């Protein structure tokens, strides 16, 4: 039997994104739903950034990282949804080779940055609750900027390395990806050349983007829990822990959706299940974040009210 034919991976080859459904009758409904979700995600997260930047009372480390997370969420969703909407509207499933690699890099970069920022925000709450006397020095503006830069470097380097390594992979003629975005694992399944280095890079990214941030988050909340339980009054315990409520909700939703897909045995994995989970952590959770951080935060509510003249007709309230 001859070897599978290959496409020239340095040429203008296209991949096919099969999307969430191949039923023609479902496409208009999917377009409307995801267009609405995308608009809510972008407007909601940009509104959070606007509110934080316009209110001097919110110029603190916690809100600095929240604004960074909101911008990251908007970019993370924008890396995949516009292309999906364009394909549905044009009745096309294609994405160019360069477009696929660009999308892959963007998803890895902003997805990893999302995880890193969640870990830094957990550290911020740990310092605020467990070491309040050192908060102003431990979370100074210079250190906050340094932590943000560190997150950018730590996420950009593995994402760029993995993307560049993919340019060395030759792909077979069958280039259909059973997702609405360029999934790295699905791409490697289409390869006709050796992919051991690429697979090792995926494991490395899993450690950098997921395992290490999650361990830092768990460590921070263990220390926070011990500190909160040591507060004598119930009211004091509630006030201390309430400052973590929004962040903890987002962490549980984000990591819960990832674990629900990738922790079960590989035999239970399917493209449909992975696509649904991707919709949850790439689209739904970034859309919900502005609501979570505004509805559960008195300072954000007051700032939104000031921005819109006494809080009239603010949809997040």
The pLDDT score that the predictor gives to residue 220 is: 93
Residue with tokens 């407007």: 43
Question: Where in the chain are the domains?
Answer: 15-308
Q: Is the pLDDT of residue 74 over 50?
A: yes
Domain 15-308 belongs to what architecture?
Up-down Bundle (1.20)
CA distances from 275 to 115, 181, 186, 271, 272 (A): 20, 9, 11, 6, 5
Q: Is the pLDDT of residue 19 over 80?
A: yes
Q: Is the pLDDT of residue 15 over 80?
A: yes
CB of 209 closer than 8 Å to CB of 112: yes
Give the pLDDT mean for 38-62: 93
Asked which of 61-65, 140-144, 240-244, 257-261 is least confident by mean pLDDT, the reply is 257-261
Q: What is the DSSP string of 206-228?
A: HIIIIIHHHHHHHHHHHHHHHHH
pTM metric for this prediction: 0.88
Give the pLDDT mean for 14-20: 87
Across the chain, mean pLDDT equals 85
Give the pLDDT mean for 265-272: 63
Q: What digits encode the pLDDT tens for the residues 205-216?
A: 888 888 889 999
Q: What digits encode the pLDDT tens for the residues 293-314?
A: 887 677 888 888 887 775 444 4
Strand-by-strand arrangement of the 94-96 sheet = 94-96, 14-17, 176-177
- The vertex-276 CA angle with 211 and 96, nearest 5°, equals 90
Q: What is the DSSP string of the chain?
A: -PPPPEE-TTSS-EEEE--S---GGGHHHHHHHHHHHHHHHHHHHHHHHHHHHH-GGG-SHHHHHHHHHHHHHHHHHHTTHHHHHHHHHHT--EEEHHHHHHHHHHHHHHHHHHHHHHHHHHHHHHHHHH-GGGHHHHT-HHHHHHHHHHHHHHHHHHHHHHHHHHTT--EES--EESSSS--HHHHHHTBSS--HHHHHHHHHHHIIIIIHHHHHHHHHHHHHHHHHHT-SSHHHHHHHHHTTHHHHHHHHHHHHHHHHHHSS-GGG--HHHHHHHHHIIIIIHHHHHHHHHHHT-HHHHHHHHHHTTTTTT-TT-
- The model's confidence at residue 228, banded by pLDDT at 50, 70 and 90, is confident
- The model's confidence at residue 202, banded by pLDDT at 50, 70 and 90, is confident
% of the chain at pLDDT higher than 90: 46
């Amino acid at each position: 039997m001859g070897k599978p034919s290959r496409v020239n991976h340095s040429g203008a080859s296209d991949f096919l994104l099969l999307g969430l459904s191949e039923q023609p009758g479902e496409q208009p409904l999917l377009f409307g739903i995801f267009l609405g979700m995308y608009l809510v995600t972008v407007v909601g997260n940009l509104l959070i950034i606007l509110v934080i930047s316009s209110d001097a009372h919110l110029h603190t480390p916690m809100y600095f990282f929240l604004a960074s997370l909101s911008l990251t969420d908007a970019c993370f969703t924008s890396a995949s949804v516009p292309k999906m909407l364009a394909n549905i509207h044009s009745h096309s499933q294609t994405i160019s080779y360069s477009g696929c690699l660009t999308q892959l890099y963007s998803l890895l970069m902003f997805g990893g940055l999302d995880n890193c920022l969640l870990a830094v925000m957990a550290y911020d709450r740990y310092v605020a609750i467990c070491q309040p006397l050192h908060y102003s020095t431990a979370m100074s503006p210079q250190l906050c900027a340094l932590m943000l830069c560190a997150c950018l470097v730590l996420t950009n380097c593995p994402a760029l390395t993995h993307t560049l390594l993919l340019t060395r992979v030759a792909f077979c003629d069958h280039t259909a990806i059973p997702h609405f975005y360029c999934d790295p694992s699905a791409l490697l399944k289409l390869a006709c050349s050796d992919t051991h280095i690429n697979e090792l890079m995926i494991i490395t990214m899993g450690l950098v983007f997921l395992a290490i941030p999650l361990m830092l988050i768990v460590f921070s909340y263990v220390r926070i829990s011990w500190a909160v339980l040591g507060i004598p009054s119930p009211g004091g315990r509630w006030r201390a822990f309430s400052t973590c409520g929004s962040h903890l909700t987002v962490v549980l939703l984000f990591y819960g959706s990832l674990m629900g897909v990738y922790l079960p045995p590989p035999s239970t994995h399917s493209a449909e299940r992975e696509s649904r989970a991707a919709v949850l952590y790439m689209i739904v959770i970034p859309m919900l974040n502005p609501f979570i951080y505004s509805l559960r935060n008195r300072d954000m509510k007051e700032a939104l009210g000031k921005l819109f003249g006494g809080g009239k007709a603010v949809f997040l309230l």
